[in-house]
Amino acid sequence: MNIEKNKLLMMFFLASESMFFIVLILTYAYYRSTAAVGFESTGGPTALTSLNPIRTGIFTLILILSSFTVWLGVKSLKSKRHSMLCFWLFITIVLGALFLYGQGTEWWGMIKQDITISRDLFGTTFYTLTGFHGFHVTVGLIMLLILFGLALAGDFRGPKSAGIESISLYWHFVDVVWIVVYSVIYLWAVL
Amino acid sequence: MSRIPWVPETTEPLPRVGESEGLLTWAASVDHKQIGIMYFIAALSFFCIGGLEALLMRIQLSRPDNNFIDPELFNQLFTMHGTTMVFLVIMPFLIGLGVYLIPLMIGARDMAFPRLNALSFWVVVFGGLLLYYPFITQSGATDVGWFAYTPLSEKPYSLNNGPTYWALALLCTGIGSVASGINNIITIITLRAPGMTMRRIPLFVWLLLVTSFLLAFAIPILNAGLVTLLLDRILEANFFAPSSGGSAILWQNVFWGFGHPEVYILVLPAFAIICEVIPVFSRQPIFGYGFMVGSAIAIGLLAFGVWGHHMFAVGLGVPFNTYFSLASMLIAVPTGVKIFTWIATMWGGKIYFATAMMFATAFVIEFVIGGLSGVAFAAAPLTWQLTDSYFVVAHIHYVLFGGSMFAIFAGIYYWFPKWTGRMLSERIGKCHFWLMLIGFNLTFLFQHMVGLLGMPRRVYTYPDLPSWNWLNLLSTIGACVLGFSVLIFIFNIFFSLRKGKIAGNNPWNAWTLEWLAASPPPVHNFDEVPRIHSARPLWDLAHPDMPDEPESFNTGVTR
Ligand SMILES: [Cu+2]
């Protein structure tokens, strides 16, 4: 096999993680679709009444954009443009942090409306799904920050780095998961 | 921009892991052989604890209306027994065997990620300690069964901390298992010796590869279930709380979505051991290498589509029951292929009954019994009749003890010389084997009957009904014999470590690469790995005049 073993490790780890997310997403979908015990019947808040798909849509675009910038970072690594790599890593971190800020304000607004994880099934599934995704974004940000620090200290002269390439894979994965989560929670609500 | 020296250069050399046997060199070890042996020690310790729990239960059940232990403790005992044996005994035994043997069998220096390997091990040990911690606290250990059905395992019904620790413990062992699964996969993909194509790796490695995929893709399902259960218990979420619209059945789907692949995580490595032991002691190559690999892959894939056969009693409806019945019966086909492949390998061979081979032969027989009752359970109506009875207990023990554990003992007798440089005593070994065989069948064969007579499982006592008392008494006597045979086994280990015959590199005249290394292998495993030309490199080395055909899978028939 030609793939570097650390990248291979990341790929299998992400494949394994996707099983974890599939279960959480199916759980959300199950409670969303079985109306008899689902969200609407309780008369409480729902994704439709308490979430803003446009505002979160913008933060979604920001996350997608960060996937693009990390890809540009890997491209700069391959063409040995070290300062561009540092730049794109920095932009990715800023965009990722912006997304987390969006998630934070979303949660804060909902908690002020008294929608908590223990209130009803909507709260339970919403916070679990977005929470585990947000946790993965946070871990990704920490790893990107470490890479950024190392890059500033002079590492990653290119054209290859298992670290940069596998963390960028991770970041793409977090992005893809969010697109699914956004579709299932926000878009399904308006449909 | 130049590299900023944050920390001054040091001239001290890195501390070297010496060859000494200090405790710290073990705890800090990243060597796959040492980690493999630590897995073995941990699993054996938990095996003794889990066995003791079983013995306590059997003593309580030896006669009707007994009150040797109270019902609360009994509930804790069967829950801890099941959890321990599955997650802290069979899995660590099998994963540890893989960790020790895979690099040796493919001619590698170590696993692809030695540090991750050490992390996997220690996280599993930590999980075991977490599981047992509440036993010593006021609240007592978890008492909701090894599959922790909701809503019983939810807060209003189980206010003690047992189930919380149970979930945290399994989360730890789960993380460890995923990591070792992925580590195995990458090791097998990237570190094979020159010439060792995927068609030439030992079947042990192939079957562990399939198992590793199951670890990587089935354990996360359990992890997701565990975190949602923990959210319910700690943050009062509503996933499995029927009172707020949650579905208790959802937990069953998630748990068995993991639970059925888990069955194959426990049994495919056992098959892997048998695939190595039977050819060597029949003095013939395996009959149908390709069939063995293909059927293992088929089992691995089918494993994800049959979880509903654990839920026939729920009332899923006719279409689901029919599907899950048929799909489950389908698994009997690849499993049958394996059984026939082993029989065909033994057929006409010069069988040498060393203790390892005796355990392997017993494995085939006991596993067929467990497999047959398993196929019977695939029929939904039979499950309705027998669910939650001792028939289920008998079935699972034929598969997991008569199956997995017998294979593990076969593996231990087979590879112990490689691990330690000394043979396990064959005389004590045969004594161990016969006592264990008798004890095991005495314990569990009669549980089929008492189950058919209607005795429910997980009850701390039972009324004095005709036949129930003597069947249970026989079972308890069997359990004591079983316990005694384990003591003999442990004695054999300590005895043979001191007085066992010196093994040499290849005491069994086996053909796979691990027997080329010294016993025990040096830190770097091999001084030189020869180029591999077939599935039996040591045969080729010993018989340069008549080497195996490069991809000869079925040579057993013609040679
Ligand atoms: Cu099953």
Q: CA angle at residue A36 from A32 to A37, to 5 degrees? A: 65
Distance between CA atoms of residues A171 and B388, nearest Å: 46
Chain B residues lying within 8 Å of A124, measured CB to CB: 231, 237-239, 246
On whether any CB of chain A is under 8 Å from the CB of B216, the answer is yes
Q: Is B100 helix (H, G, I), strand (E, B) or coil?
A: helix
Distance between CA atoms of residues A66 and A95, nearest Å: 6
Distance between CA atoms of residues A85 and A72, nearest Å: 8
Q: Flag if A38 and B113 touch (Cβ within 8 Å).
A: no
Distance between CA atoms of residues B310 and B377, nearest Å: 9
Structure tokens that stand for B184 in this block: 């195995």
On whether any CB of chain A is under 8 Å from the CB of B186, the answer is yes
pLDDT of residue A45: 73
Distance from CA of B258 to the nearest CA of A (A): 11
Distance between CA atoms of residues B194 and B257, nearest Å: 39
Chain A residues lying within 8 Å of B3, measured CB to CB: 153-155
Rounded to the nearest 10°, the torsion over CA B42, B45, B51, B57 is -100
- At residue A64, φ and ψ (nearest 5 deg) are -60, -40
Q: CA angle at residue A138 from A136 to A140, to 5 degrees? A: 70
Work out whether the CA dihedral B407, B412, B413, B419 comes out positive or negative.
positive
Q: Which of B2, B228, B237 sits opposite A154 (nearest CB)?
A: B2
Distance between CA atoms of residues B367 and B375, nearest Å: 12
pLDDT per residue as tens digits for the range A77-93: 999 999 999 999 999 99
On whether any CB of chain A is under 8 Å from the CB of B257, the answer is yes
Distance from CA of B373 to the nearest CA of A (A): 31
Chain A residues lying within 8 Å of B178, measured CB to CB: 16
- Residue A27 in this model has a pLDDT that exceeds 60: yes
Chain B residues lying within 8 Å of A42, measured CB to CB: 245
Helical axes B203-235 vs A121-152, angle rounded to 10°: 120
Structure tokens that stand for B186 in this block: 């990458």
- Token look-up 């599955």 returns B86
pLDDT of residue B5: 54
pLDDT per residue as tens digits for the range B35-88: 999 999 999 999 999 999 999 999 999 999 999 999 999 999 999 999 999 999
Q: Is B348 helix (H, G, I), strand (E, B) or coil?
A: coil
Distance from CA of A16 to the nearest CA of B (A): 5
CB burial of residue A124 (10 Å; 0-12, 13-18, 19+)? buried
pLDDT tens for chain B, 559 residues: list them.
445 555 656 566 655 555 556 788 888 899 999 999 999 999 999 999 999 999 999 999 999 999 999 999 999 999 999 999 999 999 999 999 999 999 999 999 999 999 999 999 999 999 999 999 998 887 789 999 999 999 999 988 998 889 999 999 999 999 999 999 999 999 999 999 999 999 999 999 999 999 999 999 999 999 999 999 999 999 999 999 888 888 899 999 999 999 999 999 999 999 999 999 999 999 999 988 999 999 999 999 999 999 999 999 998 899 999 999 999 999 999 999 999 999 999 998 999 999 999 999 999 999 999 999 999 999 999 999 999 999 999 999 999 999 999 999 999 999 999 999 999 999 999 999 999 999 999 999 999 999 999 999 999 999 999 899 999 999 999 999 999 999 999 999 999 999 999 999 999 999 999 999 999 999 999 988 888 888 888 888 888 888 777 655 544 443 3
Length in residues, chain A: 191
Distance between CA atoms of residues A135 and A111, nearest Å: 18
Q: Which residues of B211-224 are buried (b: 16+ CB within 10 A; e: fewer)?
A: bbbbbbbbbbbbbb
Mutate to test the interface with A, among B120, B177, B186, B189 (most CBs of A within 10 A): B186
Q: Which residue of B has its CA nearest to A124?
A: B237
Neighbour count for residue B251 (Cβ, 10 Å) = 23
On whether any CB of chain A is under 8 Å from the CB of B208, the answer is no
Distance from CA of B514 to the nearest CA of A (A): 23
Distance between CA atoms of residues B231 and B252, nearest Å: 17
pLDDT per residue as tens digits for the range B194-238: 999 999 999 999 999 999 999 999 999 999 999 999 999 999 999
Structure tokens that stand for B94 in this block: 């099998």
Residues with CB under 5 A from ligand 1 (ion): B 260
Distance between CA atoms of residues B265 and A22, nearest Å: 21
Is residue B241 within 8 A of residue B232, CB to CB? The reply is yes
Q: Which residue of B has its CA nearest to A119?
A: B237
Distance from CA of B7 to the nearest CA of A (A): 12
Neighbour count for residue B511 (Cβ, 10 Å) = 23
For chain A, positions 119-178, list CB contacts with chain B under 8 A: 120-121, 123-125, 127-128, 132, 152-155
Q: Which of A23, A37, A118 sits opposite B237 (nearest CB)?
A: A118
Q: Quote the ligand 1 centre to B352 CA distance (angstroms).
A: 35
For chain A, positions 37-66, list CB contacts with chain B under 8 A: 37-38, 41-42
Is residue B371 within 8 A of residue B335, CB to CB? The reply is yes
Q: Which residues lie across from B456 on neighbouring strands?
A: B389
Q: Flag if A20 and B239 touch (Cβ within 8 Å).
A: no
CB burial of residue B512 (10 Å; 0-12, 13-18, 19+)? buried
Domains along chain B with CATH numbers: 33-542 (1.20.210.10)
On whether any CB of chain B is under 8 Å from the CB of A2, the answer is no
- At residue B389, φ and ψ (nearest 5 deg) are -110, 175
Distance from CA of B518 to the nearest CA of A (A): 28
Distance from CA of A95 to the nearest CA of B (A): 25
Structure tokens that stand for B74 in this block: 């009994």
Distance between CA atoms of residues A130 and B120, nearest Å: 28
Contacts of A183 (CB under 8 A, 6+ apart): none
Is residue B31 within 8 A of residue B114, CB to CB? The reply is yes
Q: Which of B182, B231, B238 sits opposite A121 (nearest CB)?
A: B238
Structure tokens that stand for B71 in this block: 């019902």
Q: Is A44 helix (H, G, I), strand (E, B) or coil?
A: coil
Annotated domain spans of chain A: 5-190
Q: How far apart are the first and last CA of chain A?
A: 45
Contacts of A174 (CB under 8 A, 6+ apart): A63, A133, A136, A137, A140
On whether any CB of chain A is under 8 Å from the CB of B112, the answer is yes
Q: Flag if A154 and B218 touch (Cβ within 8 Å).
A: no
Q: Which residues lie across from B389 on neighbouring strands?
A: B456
Q: Which residues of B165-185 are buried (b: 16+ CB within 10 A; e: fewer)?
A: bbbbbbbbbbbbbbbbbbbbb
Task: Categorise residue A86: left if φ over 0, alpha if ψ from -120 to 50, beta otherwise.
Answer: alpha
On whether any CB of chain A is under 8 Å from the CB of B7, the answer is no
Contacts of A76 (CB under 8 A, 6+ apart): A82, A84, A85, A87, A88, A158
Distance between CA atoms of residues A190 and B477, nearest Å: 66
Mutate to test the interface with B, among A2, A4, A10, A12 (most CBs of B within 10 A): A12
Length in residues, chain B: 559
Distance between CA atoms of residues B225 and B32, nearest Å: 31
pLDDT of residue B154: 92
Structure tokens that stand for B36 in this block: 């493999």
Q: Flag if A37 and B247 touch (Cβ within 8 Å).
A: yes
On whether any CB of chain B is under 8 Å from the CB of A20, the answer is yes
Is residue B310 within 8 A of residue B259, CB to CB? The reply is yes
Q: Which residue of B has its CA nearest to A30?
A: B250
Is residue A12 within 8 A of residue A173, CB to CB? The reply is no
Distance between CA atoms of residues A20 and A24, nearest Å: 7
Mutate to test the interface with A, among B154, B178, B198 (most CBs of A within 10 A): B178
**Amino acid found at B452:** L
Distance from CA of A33 to the nearest CA of B (A): 13
On whether any CB of chain B is under 8 Å from the CB of A94, the answer is no
Q: Which residue of B has its CA nearest to A127?
A: B237
Number of alpha carbons in the 13 Å side-chain half-sphere of residue A37:
19
Distance between CA atoms of residues B167 and B223, nearest Å: 9
Average pLDDT of chain B, as a whole number: 92
Q: Flag if A9 and B1 touch (Cβ within 8 Å).
A: no
CATH of A5-190, one of 3.40.50.720, 1.20.120.80, 1.20.1530.20, 3.20.20.30: 1.20.120.80
Structure tokens that stand for B60 in this block: 């309580």
Distance between CA atoms of residues B240 and B223, nearest Å: 15
Q: Flag if A16 and B190 touch (Cβ within 8 Å).
A: no
Q: Which of B178, B245, B257 sits opposite A37 (nearest CB)?
A: B245
- Token look-up 């996350």 returns A63
In 3D space, the residue among A180, A62, A10, A97 whose CA is nearest the CA of residue B216 turns out to be A10
Distance between CA atoms of residues B190 and B103, nearest Å: 11
Distance between CA atoms of residues B465 and B79, nearest Å: 26
- Token look-up 């069979």 returns B90
Q: Which residue of B has its CA nearest to A123?
A: B237
Number of alpha carbons in the 13 Å side-chain half-sphere of residue B297:
7
Is residue B224 within 8 A of residue A20, CB to CB? The reply is yes
Chain B residues lying within 8 Å of A123, measured CB to CB: 237-238
